[in-house]
Amino acid sequence: MKEGFAIFPGSFDPPTYGHLNIVERASRIFKHVDVLVSTNSQKKSLFSTQERYQLMEKYCAPYANVNVISWRGLIVEYAREHDIRVIIRGLRPLSDFAYEFELAALNYQINNNVETLFIPTATKYSVLRSSSLKEMAALGVGLDAMAPAEVIDMLHEKLAAQK
Ligand code: ADP
């Protein structure tokens, strides 16, 4: 077992300050964090895998103990291959609980060497999610407090291209 190692998986479509807050807090607790940018074929993403990976890599660069990886397979498979026993998930009030509870139970069923640990979202990001960011961008709501300027610019470009 790789002691002090953890995985923080997500689609990060696109990355928000809510995600980055969890990365920062996880990096303070664990010796090493692998951020897994998932390529989930069932979910259609607005940002390509490469974009999501490159953005996360850039925003995680300040943390010397955080590594960003693009991953196609199951999270528990990555954990098994790399002998990592902790999965970190951010938890927003109400909306995340049922889904995250089921996902954690499912992952534990597949690999009971792996535990899911939750970090509660910072209050200011508690209603922030990537999908609502896209909706708010489409409505022209200011998003500066929610995601890096580069992400917001890319979001606007993508939405304009869809019109
Ligand atoms: P997925 O699409 O796999 O649910 P996301 O990319 O939406 O994943 O999020 C990845 C992780 O980041 C999840 O654990 C999610 O709960 C967490 N997360 C997303 N937004 C926030 C937020 N505003 N505050 C805290 N955690 C968050």
Q: How far is CA 110 from CA 10, 18, 21, 117, 127, in A?
A: 18, 28, 28, 16, 30
**Is 19 labeled as catalytic in the residue annotation?**
yes
* pLDDT bucket at 61, cuts 50 / 70 / 90: very high
Q: Does position 62 have pLDDT exceeding 70, yes or no? A: yes
Residue of minimum CA distance from atom 23 in ligand 1: 18
Per-residue pLDDT, 42: 67
Per-residue pLDDT, 2: 85
3-state helix, strand, coil in the chain (%, to 5): 45, 20, 35
**Is 43 labeled as catalytic in the residue annotation?**
yes
**Residue type (1 letter), 26:** A
* pLDDT bucket at 106, cuts 50 / 70 / 90: very high
**Residue type (1 letter), 58:** K
What is the distance between the alpha carbons of residues 154 and 8, in angstroms, rounded to a whole number?
Answer: 24
Q: What is the model's pTM?
A: 0.94
Angle, helix 149-162 to helix 130-139, in steps of 10 degrees: 70
Ligand 1 closest atom vs CA 125: 23
Q: Catalytic one among 19, 89, 129, 134? A: 19
Q: Catalytic one among 28, 41, 43, 44? A: 43
